[in-house]
Amino acid sequence: MAYPAEFRYTKEHEWMAVKDGIATIGITDYAQHELGDVVFVELPKVGARIEVGKSFGTVESVKAVSEIYAPAAGEVVEANATLEKKPETINTDPHGAAWLIKVRLANAADASKLMDVAAYEAFIADKGKEATA
């Protein structure tokens, strides 16, 4: 799956897209592959505050739980309700329909600290080499 050029990425495999001060946050295709079939997603409530680097939710597969770390600080304005009924969307469309939360950014500069697509692709390519080494 291609990694959208307009997204920013973290080393914990979250992506973030910013428009008009609102950031949409999700996990990457690489992350969903590592997790396997997702069975449950736990997201914060609207109005919750998230902080950079702090866990704001979890994604569960049958035998693993992954924390999701906030790539930026802000206030949650929407959580993706479809994931409650259809967590498998994360496996099929991680960069689109399976966005996790939308956040009103507290600090617009947060986004610029993240990797761009080239850096992220290089980062996961390195990871792949580690795994087969």
Partner 1 sequence: MRYLPKSPAERQEMLAAIGAKSIDELFSSIPEPYRLKKPLHLPGPLSEAEIIEYFKARAAENSFGYTSFLGAGVYNHLRSVITDTIIQRGEFLTSYTPYQAEISQGTLQAIFEFQTMICQLTGQEVANASMYDGSTATTEAVLMAERLTGRRRVLIARSVHPEYRDVLKTYAKNSGLQVEEIPFAAKGTLDTRALQAALKDDVCAVVVQSPNFFGAIESVAPLAESAHATGALLVVAVTEGVSLGLLKPPAEADIVAMEAQSFGLAPSYGGPFAGVIASRDKFVRQMPGRLTGQTTDSEGRRGFVLTLATREQHIRREKATSNICTNQALCALAATVHLTLLGKEGLREMAEQNFSKAQFALSELEKIPGVRRAFAAPFFNEFTVELQRSVRLVNAQLLREKIIGPYVLGTPYPELTKHALVCVTETTTGAEITRFAAAVRRALEQPL
Partner 2 sequence: MTDKIKKASRHTIQNEGLIFEKSSPGKRAFDLAPLDVPAADPAKALGAEYRRAGVEGFPEVSEIEVLRHFTRLSTWNFAIDLGMYPLGSCTMKYNPRVNELVARLDGIATEHPYQPQELSQGCLKILQLLEKSLLEITGMDAITLQPSAGAQGELTGLLLIRAYLERQGNARKKVLIPDSAHGTNPATAVIAGYQVESIKSESHGQIDVDKLRELVTEDVAALMITNPSTLGIFEERMPEIAAILHGKGALLYMDGANMNALAGVARPGDLGVDVMHLNLHKTMSTPHGGGGPGAGPVAMKKILEPFRPAPILVEKEGGRLALDFQRKESIGKVKAFGGNFGVLVRALAYLLAYGPGLRQATEDAVLNANYIRKHLEDVFELPYNLPSMHEVVFSDALQKKNGVNTMDIAKRLIDYGFHPYTTAFPLIVPGALMIEPTESESKEECDLFIDALRAIAEESATNPELVKTAPHTTRVRRLDEVAAARKPVLRWKPAEKRSESAD
| String of DSSP letters for 48-86 | -EE-TTSEEEEEEESS-EEEEE-SS-EEEEEE-THHHH-
Q: How far is CA 21 from the centre of its chain?
A: 17
- With CB under 8 A as the contact rule, the residue among 62, 118, 119, 122 that binds partner 1 is 62
Amino acid symbol at 9: Y
**Among partner 1, partner 2, none, what does residue 65 contact (CB within 5–8 Å per kind)?**
partner 1
> Which is closer to partner 2, CB of 36 or CB of 53?
36
Q: Which residue has the tokens 């792949």?
A: 128
The binding track of 18-37 with respect to partner 1, each residue x by CB under 8 A or -, is: --------------------
Least distance (Å) between residue 65 CB and partner 1: 5
Q: Please tell me the distance from the alpha carbon of residue 115 to that of residue 133, in angstroms, as a whole number.
A: 25
List interacting residues with partner 2 (CB under 8 A): 37, 39-40, 60-63, 87-88
Q: Which is nearer to partner 1, 15 or 56 (CB)?
A: 56
Interacting residue ranges for partner 1, rule: CB under 8 A: 40, 42, 60-65
